[in-house]
Amino acid sequence: MNDLRHWSAHLPVGAPDGFDLPHPGTLAGAWTAALGAEPDRPLLWGSIGGGPARWVARGEFLDRTERLAARLAGAGLVGGERLLLSGPSTVDLAVAHVACLRLGLVVVPTNGSYREAELAHVIADCTPRAALVGHDGWAELLAGLDPDLLVAQLVDPFPDVPVDDGTAALLDVSLPGDPAIIGYTSGTTGRPKGAVLTQANLLAGAQSVRVAWRWTEVDRLVLCLPLFHMHGLGVGLHGTLLAGASAVLQSGFAPDDVLDALDVHDATMFFGVPTMYHRLADHNRVDLLGGLRLCVAGSAPLAAELHVRLAERAGVSVLERYGMTETVMLVSNPFDDDRRPGAVGIPLPGVDVRLADGSDGPVGEILVRGPNVFAGYWERPEATAEAFVVDPDGGDPWFRTGDLGAVDDGYLAIVGRAKELIISGGFNVYPREVDDALILHQAVAEVAVAGVPSPEWGEEVVAWIVVADGHDCPGVDELRAFAQDHLAAYKLPRRVVAIDAIPRNALGKVTRHELRVPD
Ligand code: MLC
Ligand code: AMP
């Protein structure tokens, strides 16, 4: 076994006085405890009630979650039922998320770029009872997909439903093992599966970064990441609420807006994907990042060169960390110690990480276990069983990340992937899903999609096509227009390459690593 230097799973060296390691509570319970005091203290900046952005204080936030939970209960929703949630990053979205979790509903955070086919898959798979949505046209779209779905707008949902007076008794009664979120991801293979995270998983995930990054009430985060993936939701929003800190919510990433907010709101922290740092690095006010207590990058590799450039231009040593839908966060560069460009760091408090044995020299698949690791894939026992390996020493099983790692001086670096995955701007793209959409074009006889390196996006989606007899090779614009009804925009190819034959191995499986972009 390749031992990593454990941060605090075994040695409590990372946790300073006054910080606790995760306790076996629930996320909703921990939030109400953290936010119960000082009701006038600002919590979130953003649009509320559909109005302009303003500060919403802790007391108002908790009241609003209680009122919304009562309305959801009045609409007949009961704990354990799934609710699809999607909207721009407003305080209304945060209120809805917390109201659902306090009521024991299982939130299905959903990417606002999804098209009908992607939404249809999620709905058929986890059969939500209700949906709260804030995108134009989504209410009609969802109602068309499932006439039994209770669909409401994020702002003032179910206005005609009587409020259930008995709801207070139903709030915050979830147990640590109760499902809280179903996050859609393809894992290492296949079509998107729902990763079920319990209240305790989410609490452990947020606690570990709170401890490791010394996140306290005085911190203020500028949060422009979408609130439907782990980075923005499980770290940015959950961590803010748990630390009793505050955050400025921005819907979408605009470098000027981020830099303005850092300045105007006296922010102390910024979290982003590498594409955001790439765009900020060239900005004439990038030095504002250097005034922050902490800048965190993740969801995709932060190029060592970009890390160095940000240090030179902004005087900031960006802290890179590594996470996944199934595990929230697992590894992070240290807050107090050396932050190494090109490495993701050491295990977070409470998390066990190792590399699989019998692998390629010093490189092995990264395995993880701990209270942050999810409960399994929704109604997929076989996929769940395949995702874990037994512990050779008889301990708890290990989750297979599908990422390949190597350890140097106790620091983990991600050196490749055992899974077929493209990460573009921090969004995951599964090549097979794109293949399946493009093959429907009449000029495409065969197709294989892969990622090629890109300074801005990390990886760019490229399609290699064998052109059908009697047709010309379709251009990239034509293919994008053709597939845009089936795929979210970030999955569409940015380049097309005509090829005589798709490379395959002896079993006929596409060998995507052999696909090359011509010079
Ligand atoms: C947008 N586009 C993308 C894209 N994002 N294309 C490829 N990859 C992406 N990531 C498309 C748009 O639809 C648009 O298409 C065109 O690119 C130009 O858009 P843009 O305005 O330049 O992009 P922008 O809206 O600024 O989005 C870039 C971004 C965004 C980086 C801000 O992608 C983003 O928010 N990424 C964060 C993703 C994230 O939160 N990942 C966390 C996963 S959790 P068109 O056709 O309209 O021109 C996880 C675990 C962990 O991984 O460890 O955190
Ligand atoms: P998701 O399934 O969307 O949660 O994406 C998780 C995947 O993102 C991981 O399995 C990694 O492949 C990748 N990832 C997250 N953080 C990093 C990082 N800092 N460096 C490299 N890859 C990362």
Question: Per-residue pLDDT tens for 179-228?
Answer: 999 999 976 666 789 999 999 999 999 999 999 999 999 999 999 999 99
Identify any residues that bridge with 242 across adjacent strands, giving them in sequence order.
none
Residue 428, pLDDT > 90, answer: yes
Q: Which of 8-17, 22-31, 192-201 has the highest average model confidence (pLDDT)?
A: 192-201
* Confidence at residue 188, expressed as pLDDT on a 0 to 100 scale: 64
- Note the pLDDT of residue 170: 83
Query: Dihedral sign, CA of 160, 68, 329, 253?
Result: positive
What's the 299 CA to ligand 2 centre distance in angstroms?
A: 4
**pLDDT tens profile 112-134:** 999 999 999 999 999 999 999 99
- Residue of the nearest CA to atom 2 in ligand 1? 490
The confidence band for 44, taking pLDDT boundaries of 50, 70 and 90, is very high
Instruction: Write out the two tokens for 328.
Output: 């929230």
What is the pLDDT, as a whole number, of residue 285? Answer: 98
Report pTM: 0.94
The whole-number pLDDT of residue 36 equals 85
What residues does 429 pair with on adjacent strands? 422
Domain ranges within the chain, ordered by starting residue: 57-174, 422-514
pLDDT at residue 7 greater than cutoff 60: no
Which of 364, 421, 428 minimizes the C-alpha distance to 398?
A: 364
Give backbone dihedrals phi and psi of 421, rounded to 5 degrees, phi first.
-155, 140
Stretch 375-390: mean pLDDT: 95
Q: Give the model confidence (pLDDT) of 293-334 as tens digits.
A: 999 999 999 999 999 999 999 999 999 999 999 999 999 999
User: What is the pLDDT, as a whole number, of residue 88?
Assistant: 97
Give the pLDDT confidence score for residue 171 in this predicted structure.
Answer: 86
Mean pLDDT in the chain? Answer: 92
Tell me which residue has its CA closest to atom 5 in ligand 2. Answer: 324
HEC profile for 69-123? HHHHHHCCCCCCCEEEEECCCCHHHHHHHHHHHHHCCEEEECCCCCCHHHHHHHH
For range 268-288, the mean pLDDT = 98
Q: Which of 30-34, 58-62, 212-216 has the lowest mean pLDDT?
A: 30-34
DSSP 309: H
184-188, 429-433, 455-459: which has the minimum mean pLDDT? Answer: 184-188
In short, whether 299's Cβ falls inside 6 Å of ligand 2 is yes
pLDDT tens digits, one per residue of 232-264:
999 999 999 999 999 999 999 999 999 999 999
Query: What's the confidence (pLDDT) of residue 359?
Result: 60
Write the residue with the smallest CA distance to atom 23 of ligand 1: 253
Q: Report the distance separating Cα 71 and Cα 338, nearest Å.
A: 49
Percent of the chain, pLDDT > 70?
94
What letter would DSSP give residue 442?
Answer: T
β-pairing verdict for 388-389 and 376-377: unpaired
Report the pLDDT value the prediction gives residue 162, as an integer from 0 to 100.
87
Q: What is the pLDDT of residue 443?
A: 97
Q: What is the CATH number of domain 422-514?
A: 3.30.300.30
At 121 the pLDDT is 94
Interhelix angle 274-281/255-264, rounded to 10 degrees, is 80
Which has the higher per-residue pLDDT, 154 or 23? Answer: 154
Task: Identify the three-state secondary structure at position 270.
Answer: strand
Q: Report pLDDT for 18.
A: 43
**303 CA to centre of ligand 1 in angstroms:** 17
Look up residue 157 and give its DSSP letter.
Answer: -
pLDDT exceeds cutoff 70 at 5: no
Q: For residue 508, what pLDDT is reported?
A: 87
Nearest-atom index, ligand 1, CA of 322: 53
Confidence class of residue 168 from pLDDT cuts 50, 70 and 90? Answer: confident
Better-scored residue on pLDDT, 26 or 24: 26
pLDDT band at 20 (very low <50, low <70, confident <90, very high): very low
pLDDT at 183: 98
Question: How far apart, in Å, are the Cα atoms of 66 and each of 78, 96, 228?
Answer: 15, 10, 22
Residue whose Cα lies nearest atom 3 of ligand 1: it is: 490
CB 504 within 8 A of CB 510: yes
Pocket test for ligand 2, best of 368, 403, 417, 459 (most atoms within 8 A of CB): 403
Query: Which atom of ligand 2 lies nearest, measured to the CA of 185?
Result: 2
**Tell me, what's the pLDDT at 27?**
87
Q: What fold, for 57-174?
A: Rossmann fold (3.40.50)
Residue type, 471: H
Q: What is the pLDDT of residue 201?
A: 96
Give the closest residue (by CA) to ligand 1 atom 15: 489
Quote the pLDDT of residue 8: 33
Q: 413 pLDDT exceeds 80? A: yes
Q: Identify which of 235, 276, 414 to mutate to test ligand 2's pocket (most ligand atoms within 8 A of the CB).
A: 414
Q: What is the structure's pLDDT at 164? A: 78
Q: Whose Cα sits closest to atom 11 in ligand 1?
A: 490
Which is higher by pLDDT, 32 or 91?
A: 91
- Mean pLDDT lowest among 13-22, 39-48, 62-71, 150-159: 13-22
pLDDT digits (tens, 9 = 90+) for 318-376: 999 999 999 999 999 999 999 999 999 999 999 999 999 866 678 999 999 999 999 99
Cβ of 451 less than 6 Å from ligand 1: no
